Amino acid sequence: MIPSELRSKIMRSVKSQNTGCEIIVRRLIWKLGFRFRLNVKSLPGSPDVVLKRHQKVIFVNGCFWHGHTCPKGRLPKSNIEFWKNKVDRNRQRDSRVRSELKKLGWKSLVIWQCELKKMDVLERKLIRFMDKT
């Protein structure tokens, strides 16, 4: 078990923009021929990738921080109540943001950190998303 001071330091150091996962996804989108903007503040939730011409946005979510159901989404064994509340609030916010975007006419896609293991599957997912009108 990691001491709480060290755990706090580790969690504070986690970036929220330009993460390794985001960079991998952006490179793939670029390779597929799509051009985009990053973290557009005028849209709800400042989506990670904004394809304005297509009216589509992409969120690249860390499994832990956004409460994915995969093994990477498991909560730490210490301070369980704090982390449960934190992740629950993040999930509620994510849902609200996607609803707001939908009302504004935007289509959204969530890519989970764990999905980066299978780039061929991720590429097909992105192509399907971009082909939808």
**Per-residue pLDDT at 77:** 87
pTM score of the predicted model = 0.85
Q: Provide the b/e sequence for 56-71 (b: ≥16 CB within 10 Å).
A: bbbbbbbbbbbbbeee
Q: State whether residue 58 is helix, strand or coil.
A: strand
Task: Find residue 108's DSSP bridge partners.
Answer: 57
End-to-end CA distance of the chain: 48
Comparing C-alpha atoms, which of 117, 115, 113, 126 is closest to residue 22? 113
Nearest-angstrom CA–CA distance, 59 and 22: 9
**Per-residue pLDDT at 64:** 93
How many whole angstroms from its chain centre is CA 68?
A: 10
**Per-residue pLDDT at 69:** 94
**Per-residue pLDDT at 109:** 98
Chunked into runs of 10 residues, the chain (133 residues) has average pLDDT values of 64 65 96 95 97 97 94 89 95 98 98 96 97 75
**Exposed/middle/buried for 22, CB within 10 Å: 0-12, 13-18, 19+?**
buried
**Per-residue pLDDT at 16:** 59
**What DSSP character marks residue 74?**
P
> Which domains are seen in the chain, by residue range?
18-131 (3.40.960.10)
